[in-house]
Chains A and B, each alone.
Chain A
Amino acid sequence: MNQPVRVKTLKIDDRDVSGREDETILEVARQNGIFIPTLCHLDGLTSIGACRLCLVEVKGVSRLLPACVTRVEEGMEVYTQSERLQKYRRMTLELLFSERNHICSVCVVNGHCELQSLAQTLGMTHVGVPYRFPRLPVDASHERFVVDHNRCILCTRCVRVCDEIEGAHTWDVMGRGIDSRVITDLSEPWGDSETCTSCGKCVNVCPTGALFEKGKPVADRLKKRQFLPYLTMMREERR
């Protein structure tokens, strides 16, 4: 049975807006053309609030809240563009860039990368913390795809799309903290995976050059994500 839809009214950046009670601050902001940066969020996948780029200020709440997993509430006053937030967002990006080896000029997705373009959008022109330069593997054992851990930002979009949409759960995360890494099966070479269906969804949702298809020129490495909202929409209709 359909429950009656409750609508909440709130303010985002001093603008009066409204959203359904089951919608997040991010969804309502985007419906109203208010920009909040994101990296781990992707329409069609479960939101996890991991990348912290969508942090916003809510009046009366002392800590910052991730817009992608915070539901709208009646009378909420949300601020998305304060100087403090912009500083934190740039800092988050700097930490992401410093954590692994993101060499944009020689990356397979140079020009189509969400991390790269977000750095430009948010005005991050250099990384203030020392780069770590970790030594990380590249697994090219799969027939069609490659995982380059140097470019991975651990957004786990690949893990979620593989589990939630494809239903294979080939991808997962191993290790803790800065040693975390995405793995295929039980940390076996991707090419040996018995669960991978080679559907390529993980490659298309990856925001960076961490997952890419072999044998394609850089110009053709645009990630194609149009399939995702349609797949989730059809599933919800069937339910």
Chain B
Amino acid sequence: MSTKRIATVWLDGCSGCHMSFLDMDERLIELFQQADLVYSPLVDLKEFPPDVDITLVEGAVSSEEDLHKILMVRERTRTLVAFGDCAVTGNVPSMRNPFGANAVLQRAYLENVTLYPQVPREVIPALCERVRPVHEVVKVDVFIPGCPPSAETIYLALSELLAGRMPDMAKLTRFGA
């Protein structure tokens, strides 16, 4: 059996899903007997490589950078997994949507700042007007709801995917789990 290439990316989320991923503990060793982690915030690689078999996407699409990343990731990935509630539903990041991006910037950088209040225009990526779940931007193959999905859920999902099967996620997890 050929070694599968797995990647994880982190868009607008709290990294809780990645923490839960690490909570697989010794099962990580078992999983990565059959796969290589070719890109992740957990490893020191700068470029998202081509020809990735499975990519777990944590977080919603909420900035220009997220948008740029997810389009590239989709192009280079065979099975794209929306990993956790932010990726699946927009979740907490999407709570700004009823108010708009500008209201958030005003609040964070102007209203509550006493010294040189200003909205950053450089270095920090511009916010999209609307936070979107991943599948509103690119095609998603597997959805893993949960905030965060448990280590058990991630392990079962990845085991199924590595075996070439589609996991039935509704049995394992739910929104807000």
Contact = CB atoms under 8 A, between A and B. Distances in A.
Interface of A: 97, 101-107, 110-111, 116-117, 119-128, 130-131, 133-136
Contacts of A126: 82, 88-89, 133, 135, 140, 143, 145
A110 B91 CA distance: 13
A140 to B, nearest CB: 18
Interface in B62-94: 82, 85, 88-92, 94
22 contacts: A101-B94, A102-B175, A104-B175, A105-B85, A105-B91, A107-B176, A111-B176, A119-B174, A119-B175, A120-B174, A120-B175, A122-B170, A124-B170, A125-B145, A125-B170, A126-B135, A126-B143, A130-B136, A131-B89, A131-B90, A131-B97, A135-B99
Would you list the 4 A-B pairs with minimal beta carbon distance, nearest first? A104-B176, A105-B147, A133-B97, A135-B98
A76 B144 CA distance: 40
Report whether over half of chain A's contact residues are helix, strand or loop; otherwise say mixed: loop
A120 B143 CA distance: 12
B175 to A, nearest CB: 4
Nearest to B146: A105
Contacts of B170: 120-125
A86 B143 CA distance: 18
B163 to A, nearest CB: 20
B4 interface: no
A130 B90 CA distance: 11
A114 B85 CA distance: 18
A80 B135 CA distance: 30
Nearest to B99: A135
A136 B98 CA distance: 8
A131 B170 CA distance: 20
Contact of A131 (B92, B94, B99): B94
Nearest to B98: A135
Nearest to B169: A125
Nearest to B93: A103
Contact of A125 (B88, B90, B130, B176): B88
B95 interface: yes
A103 B145 CA distance: 12
Contact of B98 (A116, A123, A130, A133): A133
A103 B174 contact: no
Interface in B143-177: 143-145, 147, 168-170, 173-176
A116 B90 contact: no
Nearest to A134: B98
A97 B175 CA distance: 11
Contacts of A122: 170
A166 B156 CA distance: 48
A105 B92 contact: yes
A116 B174 contact: yes
B138 to A, nearest CB: 13
Residue of A97, A105, A117, A122 with most chain B CB atoms under a 10 A cut-off? A105
A125 B143 contact: yes
Given A119-B175, A135-B99, A103 B136 contact: no
B98 A103 contact: no
